């Protein structure tokens, strides 16, 4: 990880060979468990997004909810939640997307955002970008403008941040690993 935000990085645990051999899992639960580190993370996400005008924060299930809810409170904006299938009452919009090991689906309430809403997508980590790109597509389908995407950690070698940039979404992160 980089020296930038080293105080936050100290609370990110790297777990080798999880959930399968060859994967370095970035565990943010120690960061979330330490109140001061979590507060610093939320404050720095807010500072990082200070120049981005937006009306709502969109969060991807599940760890994204933790960071997005705290950040939305800090910024005084509402939260749009993107969930796995069957977790939201109808009427929902959904998108199926590919993962490196299969497919998945995201759903969002049909009235979660409106045409013209400026939305910042928040998640804990950006890796290959499949979920984030699906979230962007779903938000745009409802007419929202995705003003930026922000993450605690970016794993640029896996290509997700580049894919988001190519899709026209500015990417920001506190840590790079």
Structure confidence by residue, pLDDT tens digits, 30-53: 999 999 999 999 999 999 999 999
Tell me, yes or no, whether 8 lies in a domain: no
Residue 1 has pLDDT above 60, yes or no: no
Domain containing residue 63: 51-176
Helix (H) or strand (E) run with residue 51 in it:
none
pLDDT the model gives residue 44: 98
Instruction: Note whether 7 and 176 are within 8 A (CB).
Output: no
The CA distance from 16 to 25, in Å, is: 6
Structure confidence by residue, pLDDT tens digits, 130-160: 999 999 999 999 999 999 999 999 999 999 9
Active site residue 100: yes
pLDDT the model gives residue 111: 94
Percent of the chain residues topping a pLDDT of 90: 92
pLDDT the model gives residue 4: 75
Give the global pTM: 0.94
Tell me, yes or no, whether 18 lies in a domain: no
Residue 16 has pLDDT above 80, yes or no: yes
Instruction: Note whether 146 and 119 are within 8 A (CB).
Output: yes
CATH at 127: 3.40.50.2020
Active site residue 105: no
pLDDT the model gives residue 101: 73
Average pLDDT over residues 58-62: 94
Structure confidence by residue, pLDDT tens digits, 107-126: 999 999 999 999 999 999 99
Catalytic pick among 44, 63, 74, 118? 63
Percent of the chain residues topping a pLDDT of 70: 99
- Three-point CA angle 113, 111, 78, nearest 5°: 45
- Three-point CA angle 41, 44, 49, nearest 5°: 125
The CA distance from 92 to 110, in Å, is: 5
Residue 66 has pLDDT above 70, yes or no: yes
Tell me, yes or no, whether 143 lies in a domain: yes
Strand partners, 61: none
pLDDT the model gives residue 3: 74
Category of 116 on φ-ψ map: left (φ > 0), alpha (ψ -120 to 50) or beta: left
Q: How many domains does the chain have?
A: 1
Residue 5 has pLDDT above 60, yes or no: yes
Average pLDDT over residues 68-82: 97
Helix (H) or strand (E) run with residue 94 in it:
strand 92-99
Q: Under DSSP, is residue 78 helix (H, G, I), strand (E, B) or coil?
A: strand
The CA distance from 22 to 4, in Å, is: 26
């Amino acid at each position: 990880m980089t020296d930038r935000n080293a105080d936050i990085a100290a609370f990110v645990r790297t777990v080798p060979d999880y959930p399968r051999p060859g994967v370095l899992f970035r565990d943010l639960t120690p960061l979330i468990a330490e109140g001061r580190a979590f507060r610093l993370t939320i404050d720095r996400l807010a500072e990082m997004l200070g120049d981005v005008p937006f009306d709502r924060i969109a969060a991807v299930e599940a760890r994204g909810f933790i960071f997005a809810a705290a950040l939305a409170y800090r910024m005084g904006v509402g939260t749009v939640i993107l969930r796995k299938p069957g977790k939201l009452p109808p009427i929902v919009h959904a998108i199926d997307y590919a993962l490196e090991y299969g497919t998945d689906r995201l759903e969002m309430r049909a009235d979660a955002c409106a045409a013209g809403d400026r939305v910042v997508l928040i998640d804990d980590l950006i890796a290959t970008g499949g979920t984030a790109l699906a979230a962007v597509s779903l938000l745009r389908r409802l007419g929202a403008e995705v003003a930026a995407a922000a993450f605690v950690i970016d794993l640029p070698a896996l290509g997700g941040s580049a894919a988001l940039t190519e899709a026209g979404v500015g990417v920001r992160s506190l840590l790079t690993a």
